[in-house]
Amino acid sequence: MKKIFLIIVLFSLNNIYSQVTNSFVINSLPNISGTNTLAVTEPICLGNSGTVTFTSSALANGSYNVSFTLSGANTGTQTASSVNFTSGVGTFTIPASALASAGTTSINLTSIVNTSTSCLRTIPSGTITDSFVVSILPNISG
């Protein structure tokens, strides 16, 4: 929800009053107050990227940058840029280069930024997470 404010400033110059008027818009932060789920599509084989679906019952339609951390077998911080959300659902990719080790990895969302307004919502650690396994490719060399 946008809120529009109007500021009127009166000041005096040699007892002549002038009025300066200006208005501005305060944009709301991305709303993630509802039910939020994060799901990584499995299986993920070593050397491949991962697909993540973020569902949020309160998030408005639009484009967002979604930042996240990886821990466990794979570690690091990533940002998925310009993730389009429609009816509260957005899908993004964890690049293969971030999934270089086999084993269990956890993903934790850390922030979401509305690309139209640049408003950033920090997500408390551990509140929107999922775990998944990066599997070793089978050895068929014989």
**pLDDT value, residue 53:** 98
CA dihedral sign of residues 76, 79, 84, 85: positive
Give 98's DSSP letter: G
Distance CA 40, CA 57 (A): 18
Of 7, 29, 30, 28, the residue nearest 19 (C-alpha): 7
**pLDDT value, residue 22:** 76
CA-to-CA dists, residue 133 to 33, 42, 74, 125, 142, angstroms: 29, 7, 10, 21, 25
Predicted model pTM: 0.82
Strands 129-135 and 103-114: antiparallel
**pLDDT value, residue 3:** 61
Residue, of 89 and 1, whose pLDDT is higher: 89
* Amino acid (one-letter) located at 78: Q
Res. 107: pLDDT tops 70: yes
* Amino acid (one-letter) located at 62: G
**pLDDT over 90 percentage in the chain:** 75
Res. 137: pLDDT tops 90: no
pLDDT digits (tens, 9 = 90+) for 5-59: 555 555 555 555 556 677 878 888 999 999 999 999 999 999 999 999 999 999 9
110 and 19 Cβ atoms separated by less than 8 Å? no
